[in-house]
Amino acid sequence: MTEFTSGTLTGKNLHLSFGHNHVLRGIDLHVEKGTTASVIGPSGSGKSTLLRVMNRLIEPDQGDILLDGRSVLKDNPDELRQRIGMVFQQFNLFPHKTVLDNVSLALRKLRKLSKDEARAEALEQLDLVGLKHKADARPANLSGGQQQRVAIARALAMKPEVMFFDEATSALDPELVKGVLALMTDLAKGGMTMVVVTHEMGFSRNVSDTVTFMDAGVVVESGPPEQIFTAPATDRLKGFLSDVL
Amino acid sequence: MDLLDQLGETFLNWEEMAKVVPSLLTVGLPNTLILALASGILGSLLGLLLALMGISRNPVARWAARIYTDLFRGLPAILVILVIGIGLSPIARELTGNRNPYPLGILALTLIAGAYIGEIFRSGIQSVEKGQLEASRALGFSYGKSMRLVVVPQGIRRVLPALVNQFISLLKDSSLVFVLGLAASDREIFRIGNDAMANTGNLSPLVAAGVLYLILTVPLTHFVNFIDNRLRTGRPEKKEPDELAAPIGKGAQA
């Protein structure tokens, strides 16, 4: 796996409410350059929302987001999102475009590469995820695991400094999870800065450098995986781990 | 038998039909097609604009689209055609020096079609999963580019059958421009059949006009069913198993 020009991402005191629903209540998350932070917690705890706030798909009500130490809240959010790749639970490939076009679309329209350059670049990314031979297929004709690997290639093609994974394996059949997790592990080892919202405790424990446990919009506990999984300090984390392990 | 003969004479007088067929084909058909195609294309552009306004975050745009749509869907087509065709004719004459009501007929049909097509586009665009816009925005595309490159093309594809249905309506409603009193060379299928009927006192020319409408609309109806099926089931392509996973989980596939 190639080396990445990755960055350090910091969320400070992030707050977000939808009406009376206070979804994020002052979240701090720091992901050092080249490391992987996994975010675990029960559903509805605000994990996925946190990712969307940190790439400003949803603007925070309060708090700050820093990329390499500089606040990005005043930047054009579209430019910020070009620097942060995101992979979704439901893949969200563009069904009306071929696999190749899914990967090359942003290269042509945002990075302004020529058609041939974009094609070469996209094929290279597809090769990295082992799907170069599917370049001309439609997403609907791929398995879920293949679709998710294309989605990863699509995000990587923009040469992001940080990658977000939002429960990237939750919608996959069990036998397809492995291939996607293996790819994510390769990325982590290759030095990509990653924020991984996941229910895969094995991945969280073995691959990530830090684990953050969220519940009801707050960070309850955060630390290295051994500490979180073998010596949980709070009852909430203990209860959660006994439910999922 | 007298009664049958009389009915045959009234509706199926071949001689009267034969007389009207040349002008139906050379004058009526092109004019009907021009009216329907021109207002169909312009109405689609207007409809797309209305649809985008209807889903925009700007409340003024949303309301404007809402009011427009309620107005033009809520009025009888013939009333709109008369009001536009007659009401705007002094202005049109002032601006273009042209007294011909034909362009105003196209305008009226366009305004009506736009309201219906706008609703069709809006439902199609809104049926596209939220994740598509989210994925596109996450790549760094602006809202406008995301709509143009990702969401709208998918939405339009889904409503193709409804659009063809709308075009069938338009083909038929184009007959209503007869109320504007068009010049002989501008008359469409219905008006030509109707004129011939009035001249001869025989209904057969109108029957011929009706047959010509059916020749246009029935194949389109079946075309709708065809693309509808095609969109629903897709081309028969088989899914391939994930090569990486295939050795692991054959049993779990079922």
Identify the closest residue of chain B to A95 by CA–CA distance.
Answer: B154
Across A186-244, the runs of DSSP E, i.e. the strands, are 193-197, 210-215, 218-223
Identify the closest residue of chain A to B158 by CA–CA distance.
Answer: A96
pLDDT at A20: 92
- B181-198 per-residue burial string, b: 16 or more CB within 10 A, e: under 16: ebeeebbbbbbbbbbbbe
Identify the closest residue of chain B to A54 by CA–CA distance.
Answer: B138
- Classify B24 in phi/psi space as left (phi over 0), alpha (psi -120 to 50) or beta: alpha
| pLDDT, tens only, A53-65 | 999 999 999 999 9
CA separation for the pair A132, A143 (Å, rounded): 15
**Residue A222 pLDDT greater than 70, yes or no:** yes
Smallest Cβ–Cβ distance between B244 and the set A94, A130, A138 belongs to A130
pLDDT at A218: 96
**Residue B180 pLDDT greater than 80, yes or no:** yes
**What value does the mean pLDDT take over residues B69-75?**
96
To the question of pTM greater than 0.95 for the whole model, the response is: no
Spatial neighbors of A71 by CB under 8 A, at least 6 apart, are A64, A65
| pLDDT, tens only, B31-52 | 999 999 999 999 999 999 999 9
Structure tokens at A84: 């942060």
| Helices of type H across B75-203 | 77-87, 89-96, 102-127, 130-139, 143-146, 152-158, 160-173, 189-200
Per-residue pLDDT band for B95 (boundaries 50, 70, 90) equals confident
Per-residue pLDDT band for B242 (boundaries 50, 70, 90) equals very low
- A124-148 per-residue burial string, b: 16 or more CB within 10 A, e: under 16: ebbebbbbbebbebbbebbbbbbbb
| pLDDT, tens only, A88-144 | 999 999 999 999 999 999 999 999 999 999 999 999 999 999 999 999 999 999 999
Could you tell me the CA-to-CA distances from B230 to A170, B105, B137, B153, B233 in Å, in that order?
A: 31, 35, 30, 17, 5
Cβ distance B248 to A141 less than 8 Å, yes or no, reads no
In chain A, what residues touch B132 (CB-CB under 8 Å)? 92, 94
In chain B, what residues touch A173 (CB-CB under 8 Å)? 245, 249, 252-253
- Chains A and B: how many Cβ contacts under 8 Å? 99
**What value does the mean pLDDT take over residues A68-79?**
95
Structure tokens at A199: 């229910």
Structure tokens at B200: 């001869």
CA separation for the pair B140, A85 (Å, rounded): 9
Cβ distance B242 to A176 less than 8 Å, yes or no, reads yes
Instruction: Quote the minimal CA–CA distance from A210 to chain B in Å.
Output: 24
Cβ distance A92 to B253 less than 8 Å, yes or no, reads no
Could you tell me the CA-to-CA distances from A237 to A40, A170, A212, B101 in Å, in that order?
A: 10, 21, 10, 77
**What value does the mean pLDDT take over residues B178-193?**
92
Rounded to the nearest 10 degrees, how much is the dihedral formed by the CA atoms of B74, B77, B83, B84?
100
pLDDT at B234: 56
Smallest Cβ–Cβ distance between B242 and the set A57, A145, A155 belongs to A145
**Residue B244 pLDDT greater than 90, yes or no:** no
Closest CA to A55 of A67, A46, A43: A67
**Residue B254 pLDDT greater than 90, yes or no:** no
**Residue B80 pLDDT greater than 70, yes or no:** yes
**Residue B93 pLDDT greater than 90, yes or no:** no
CATH number of the B7-232 domain: 1.10.3720.10
Instruction: Quote the minimal CA–CA distance from A65 to chain B in Å.
Output: 16
Smallest Cβ–Cβ distance between B239 and the set A92, A141, A178 belongs to A141
CA separation for the pair A14, A54 (Å, rounded): 9
> Which residues does residue A66 pair with via DSSP β-bridges, in sequence order?
A10, A71
Closest CA to B207 of B194, B225, B224: B194
Mutation target to probe the A interface, by most A beta carbons within 10 A, among B244, B248, B250, B253 is: B244
Dihedral sign (CA B106, B111, B117, B122): positive
Identify the closest residue of chain B to A156 by CA–CA distance.
Answer: B139
CA separation for the pair B145, B139 (Å, rounded): 11
Cβ distance A55 to B138 less than 8 Å, yes or no, reads yes
Domains of chain B, by residue range, sit at 7-232
Mean pLDDT of chain A: 95
Instruction: Quote the minimal CA–CA distance from A179 to chain B in Å.
Output: 6
pLDDT at A5: 85
**B25 and B218 Cβ atoms separated by less than 8 Å:** no
**Residue B249 pLDDT greater than 50, yes or no:** no
Tokens 């409503």, located at residue: B159
